[in-house]
Amino acid sequence: MTATTDGSTGALPPRAAAASDTQTPGAAGVSETAARAARRATDFLLSLQDTQGWWKGDLETNVTMDAEDLLLRQFLGIRDDKTTQAAALFIRGEQREDGTWATFHGGPGELSTTIEAYVALRLAGDAPEAAHMARASAWIRAQGGIAAARVFTRIWLALFGWWKWEDLPELPPELIFFPKWVPLNIYDFGCWARQTIVPLTVVSAKRPVRPAPFPLDELHTDPAHPNPAKPLAPPLSWDGAFQRMDKALHALRKVAPRGLRRAAMNSAARWIVERQENDGCWGGIQPPAVYSIIALHLLGYDLQHPVMREGLASLDRFAVWREDGARMIEACQSPVWDTCLAAIALVDAGLPADHPQLVKAADWMLGEEIVRPGDWSVRRPGLPPGGWAFEFHNDNYPDIDDTAEVVLALRRIAHHDPERIDRAIGRGVRWTLGMQSRNGAWAAFDVDNTSPFPNRLPFCDFGEVIDPPSADVTAHVVEMLAVEGLAHDPRTRRGIEWLLAEQEPDGSWFGRWGVNYVYGTGSVVPALVAAGIPAAHPAIRRAVTWLESVQNDDGGWGEDLRSYRDPARWSGRGASTASQTAWALMALLAAGERQSRTVERGVEWLAATQRADGSWDEPHFTGTGFPWDFSINYHLYRQVFPLTALGRYVHGEPFADRLKGT
């Protein structure tokens, strides 16, 4: 039996037999096969580089991005037929046979996503009695209708009177005045949540309603009573306490001093405008840009105001137009991340370190270094800047993961100005060390962003809203510090100790920003080995045993996103993918398993599934925004990680070891 891709049965792929780990005499043939595959992959990846030096693959998420883009345009009165029909073409193409929409390839239907997609198609003119629409509305009603949708979906519906504002959680704009030591201040939220919540406090205070272009009675289980009251949790529970606090905030709204509320909204507006990036966006991601535009518009900014004009223009840059005329919206763009990973892959695959395209990539990455303070400096006011962000423009929020990988990439490239490289790397290392959390680990954007309260708010029922340290980010930092000669630095050792303590009982590591235990393990094992942990260490051996146990019968590795909700059933289980197979191989190669049949079979799978042009196909989502709730298919993952794994298989010793010998 093979793994399913449609999510209908939940069948698991078979595990490989333990006997497959014995060495076979075909190693030389496998090496030649791997070398040929790596050469083809190198040529293909080089062909994708932009003339400015960067790489960027499409960043595919789910149709809520496209639906909310249309709803925004409807709200602002700027929706046009071309954009609407192009978005509808994409949305229709993503609908499942049962009438639903999922949040990842092969995943189950998801209620809020299906509601938003349905409403978008109604905007595009699809009749509710059409077969595909009737299937969707029947499924929505069977799941509880609009009343069972997440808060963010009901906010969008409230903008058009399809839901009552008073039946949504209250989000007071006075939150902007909370000092950083007060619980639930805006800096208790992760940066992505913070950028969304501040403008939404304005929207929540204003409670706007635009005329609905049509009714949505067909999405309610009881159209006569569409807003049923939800029972309160016990008062002594956290959920019950926050629900009652929300009721108090609703009552406070009626008596809150108007001057104070007006001042709070004006402060929120200043906060929003100050964080608009040079390209007009906010944080380089689509959702905060959408809500910021709505909030500023409600505060009197007309559409021709420079802030609004540039903000709307930035949203158009998130659109990917396909050959069939469909229009897909990216939640954000990943050029820095894609470029540093591409450079690492190419060097590890044997491309000369002074290759002109690598030097051009280094020049572009050097130009993307962020040398001014951002919101991270609220917690680290004395720390000099020096990191890199994920996107083209996101100077307020450099992230630790990108910074670590950019340093690893720059260190691999023989640049014509090595002193410039050293200075940039020095700033990046200093900034990264300064962003270490109290427990010795690293998060993606902030320091000690671990308050338990934000996730308890009734408003926050979708995805992660805090940014605690994770094994994958910490591993990338430890690997970078080891390459920079800091493996024995006390701060690095604290990170290593944290990683060793975080290992799961089965030998794997949880993957916060990639799916999931395969990603975590594929990140941690190379980092520990680079930092001097011997391959014979019990933690490394447990990881190897786990990876061997979850290899698929076809020789590859895969993991379904359902492992975030049901690790006992899905950890390390799923249809084989190019990126996840590469992560497993990177860990096994770092652990000294190059001669094992397990590794050979993984390499053979990569070579056998490579397309004639040197690329791989990968419809499955292997990236993570919020575990389970928001999943990502990075279209370049299927290229850079297989090339990295093949290169390390062909060339043997890890880059860190090669660097020590120079």
Looking at the fold, whether 579 and 486 belong to one and the same domain comes out as: yes
Looking at the fold, whether 313 and 166 belong to one and the same domain comes out as: yes
pLDDT tops 50 at residue 662: no
Among residues 329, 350, 385, the one where a domain terminates is 329
Helices (H), 207-305: 238-253, 258-274, 286-298
The pLDDT value given to residue 457: 81
Taking residue 351's Cβ as centre, other Cβ atoms within 10 Å add up to 21
The pLDDT value given to residue 38: 98
Tens digit of pLDDT for each residue in 173-198?
Answer: 999 999 999 998 999 999 999 999 99
Q: Enter the tokens of residue 190.
A: 């992760």
The pLDDT value given to residue 454: 87
Mean pLDDT computed over 459-469: 86
Mean residue pLDDT of the chain comes to 92
Among residues 283, 308, 329, the one where a domain terminates is 329
The CA distance from 554 to 29, in Å, is 18
Give the residue from 120, 65, 440 showing the smallest Cα distance to 287: 65
Q: Are 497 and 459 in contact (CB under 8 A)?
A: no
User: Could you report how far apart the first and last alpha carbons of the chain are, in Å?
Assistant: 49
Q: Enter the tokens of residue 377.
A: 């400096």
Q: Enter the tokens of residue 141.
A: 């009603």
Radius of gyration over every alpha carbon of the chain, rounded to an integer in angstroms? 25
**CATH code where residue 44 lies:** 1.50.10.20
Mean pLDDT computed over 318-340: 96
Sign of CA dihedral 647, 650, 652, 657: negative
- Taking phi over 0 as left and psi of -120 to 50 as alpha, with beta for the rest, 161 belongs to left
Looking at the fold, whether 517 and 560 belong to one and the same domain comes out as: yes
The CA distance from 389 to 60, in Å, is 19
Looking at the fold, whether 164 and 199 belong to one and the same domain comes out as: yes
Looking at the fold, whether 107 and 206 belong to one and the same domain comes out as: yes
Looking at the fold, whether 285 and 338 belong to one and the same domain comes out as: no
Looking at the fold, whether 584 and 628 belong to one and the same domain comes out as: yes
Q: Is residue 458 included in any domain, yes or no?
A: no
Looking at the fold, whether 345 and 409 belong to one and the same domain comes out as: yes
Tens digit of pLDDT for each residue in 432-462?
Answer: 999 999 999 999 999 999 998 888 787 777 7
Mean pLDDT computed over 484-510: 98
Q: Is residue 369 included in any domain, yes or no?
A: yes
Q: Is residue 405 included in any domain, yes or no?
A: yes
Looking at the fold, whether 409 and 512 belong to one and the same domain comes out as: yes
Provide the number of structural domains found in the chain.
2
Q: For 221, how many CA atoms within 13 A lie in the half-sphere containing its CB?
A: 13
- Taking phi over 0 as left and psi of -120 to 50 as alpha, with beta for the rest, 244 belongs to alpha
Among residues 329, 362, 395, the one where a domain terminates is 329
Q: Residue 261: which domain range?
A: 60-223+233-329
Looking at the fold, whether 407 and 553 belong to one and the same domain comes out as: yes
The pLDDT value given to residue 144: 96
- CA dihedral (658, 599, 38, 604) in degrees, to 10, reads 170
| 21, 401, 446, 472: the active-site residue | 401
Looking at the fold, whether 406 and 275 belong to one and the same domain comes out as: no
Length, in residues, of the chain: 662
The pLDDT value given to residue 18: 35
The distance from CA 358 to its chain's CA centroid, rounded to whole angstroms, is 26
Q: Indicate if 222 belongs to the active site.
A: no
Q: Which residues contact 77 (CB under 8 A, 6 or more apart)?
A: none
Q: Is residue 484 included in any domain, yes or no?
A: yes
Q: Enter the tokens of residue 557.
A: 């590795």
CA distances from 474 to 60, 311, 470, 502 (A): 25, 34, 6, 11
- CA dihedral (70, 72, 73, 76) in degrees, to 10, reads 160
Q: Is residue 133 included in any domain, yes or no?
A: yes
Q: Is residue 417 included in any domain, yes or no?
A: yes
Tens digit of pLDDT for each residue in 34-46?
Answer: 999 999 999 999 9
Angle 578-590/597-609 helices, nearest 10 degrees? 150
Instruction: Return phi, psi of residue 35, to 5°.
Output: -65, -40
Give the residue from 41, 14, 20 showing the smallest Cα distance to 600: 20
Q: Is residue 459 included in any domain, yes or no?
A: no
Looking at the fold, whether 215 and 320 belong to one and the same domain comes out as: yes
SS3 282: strand
Residue found under tokens 């949708």: 149
